[in-house]
């Protein structure tokens, strides 16, 4: 697995508008079968990076390779195999969802005998089979976004790039959407790059994450790695239990710091002692109702990276 050459590769990719660097020397490498998340606030340069990977904007310096090709030099070959869903995706309002997908299929010269079946399968997969033959003008924003994912997949791409795929989708729909995205990589073996500012979702489905702030990647790795990097040898848990500070100290040892009151407690202890935290608590007869590993929570990571950037900026 590790020896596989990446489908998307960026080296020192930079885009400047005047003096302002929208994207500043980023390095990326994404392989088939992997979900990669670009995480960052709006205006961090995520969309600009994506446009450079598609050959829709020329990099100021650095290089991008998609499927081994330079997207600026060979845009057609790249765009034929990369499915892209833009942020705030739009469709022809008078045409039905199905007709919109058909148009994309024709632009991609998908073989005639495959088109209709593929469109039907995709519409079912994104849960739009019932609305497929109504004009897109009648769709809600969430439906448009789901149609956008189907639209990106019509060409059966090897690389899928989704810009804010869940931004407008209602909570029930999000889980389905995330499952769908995960399948694109893990089941179908495509390389998936998604951008989002919603870290919980990114954390849930991404194999690797790059945290993007002001055009730079400030951290990259698996969600666990990112957590560990920040923790600096400290493990943090949230314990939900009706207990006291003394009882927690007694159960977990001297090196623990405990904060909180009532039934919610935050405990911090050296990483070396994190094993069997639950057992220690149970053995001490603490009525544990919940235990959460805060290190694996990107919320925390995200906030800390931003704090650091704010300070250094």
Task: Name the residues that contact other proteins, by CB under 8 A.
Answer: 4-7, 32-33, 47, 51, 54, 56-57, 66-69, 74-82, 84-86, 88-94, 103-104, 106-109, 148, 151, 155, 158, 189
CB of 91 to other proteins, least distance (A): 6
The token pair at 221 is 């790795």
Residue placing its CB nearer to other proteins in the complex, 104 or 196: 104
Q: In the complex, what is the shortest distance from the CB of residue 127 to other proteins, in angstroms, rounded to a whole number?
A: 20
Please list, in sequence order, all residues whose beta carbon lies within 8 angstroms of the beta carbon of residue 163, skipping any fewer than 6 positions away: 46, 47, 50, 84, 85, 86, 87, 194, 195
Nearest approach, Cβ of 95 to other proteins (angstroms)?
A: 8
Q: DSSP secondary-structure letter at 4?
A: P
Counts for the chain of helices (H) and strands (E), in that order: 11, 13
Specify the residue, 7 or 269, whose C-beta has the smaller distance to other proteins: 7
Q: Which is nearer to other proteins, 9 or 204 (CB)?
A: 9
- Helix axis angle, 141-153 to 171-186, nearest 10°: 10
Shortest CB 37 distance to other proteins, Å: 20
Nearest-approach distance from CB 113 to other proteins, in angstroms:
15
Q: How far is the CB of 144 from other proteins (least distance, A)?
A: 9
The smaller minimum CB distance to other proteins, of residues 94 and 285, is found at 94
Among 166, 92, 36, 156, residue whose Cα is nearest residue 53: 36
Q: Which is nearer to other proteins, 98 or 236 (CB)?
A: 98
Torsion (CA) 120, 126, 127, 128 in degrees, nearest 10: -60
Quote the strand ranges of the chain, DSSP E: 8-17, 20-30, 35-39, 61-66, 82-85, 159-163, 191-196, 208-213, 216-221, 234-241, 257-261, 264-270, 288-293
How many whole angstroms separate alpha carbon 313 and alpha carbon 301? 18
Neighbours of 137 (CB within 10 A): 11
Residue with smaller CB distance to other proteins, 76 or 311: 76
Q: 107 is written with which tokens?
A: 């632009």
Least Å distance, CB 155 to other proteins, is 8
Residue 15 or residue 208: which is nearer to other proteins going by CB? 15
């Amino acid at each position: 697995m590790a020896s596989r050459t990446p489908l998307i590769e960026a080296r020192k990719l930079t885009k400047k508008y005047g003096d302002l660097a929208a994207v500043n020397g980023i390095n990326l490498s994404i392989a088939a079968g992997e979900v990669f998340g670009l995480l960052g606030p709006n205006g961090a340069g995520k969309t600009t990076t994506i446009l450079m990977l598609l050959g829709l904007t020329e990099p100021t310096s650095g290089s991008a390779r998609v499927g081994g090709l330079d997207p600026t030099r060979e845009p057609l070959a790249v765009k034929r195999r990369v499915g892209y869903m833009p942020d705030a995706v739009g469709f022809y309002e008078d045409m039905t969802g199905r007709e919109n997908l058909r148009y994309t299929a024709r632009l991609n010269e998908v073989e005639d005998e495959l088109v209709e079946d593929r469109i039907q399968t995709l519409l079912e997969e994104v849960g739009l089979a019932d609305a497929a033959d109504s004009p897109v003008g009648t769709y809600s924003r969430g439906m448009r976004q789901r149609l956008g994912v189907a639209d990106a997949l019509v060409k059966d791409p090897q690389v899928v790039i989704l810009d804010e795929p869940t931004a407008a989708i209602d909570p029930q729909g999000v889980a389905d959407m995330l499952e769908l995205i995960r399948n694109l990589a893990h089941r179908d073996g495509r390389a998936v790059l998604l951008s989002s500012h919603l870290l919980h979702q990114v954390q849930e489905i991404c194999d690797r994450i790059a945290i993007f702030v002001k055009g730079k990647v400030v951290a990259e790795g698996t969600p666990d790695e990112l957590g560990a990097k920040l923790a600096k040898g400290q493990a943090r848990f949230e314990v939900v239990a009706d207990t006291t500070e003394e009882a927690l100290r007694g159960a977990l040892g001297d090196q623990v710091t405990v904060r909180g009151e009532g039934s919610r407690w935050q405990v911090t202890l050296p990483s070396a002692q994190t094993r069997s935290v639950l057992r220690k608590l149970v053995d001490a007869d603490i009525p544990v109702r919940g235990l959460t590993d805060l290190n694996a929570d990107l919320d925390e990571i995200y906030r800390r990276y931003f704090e650091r950037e704010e300070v250094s900026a």
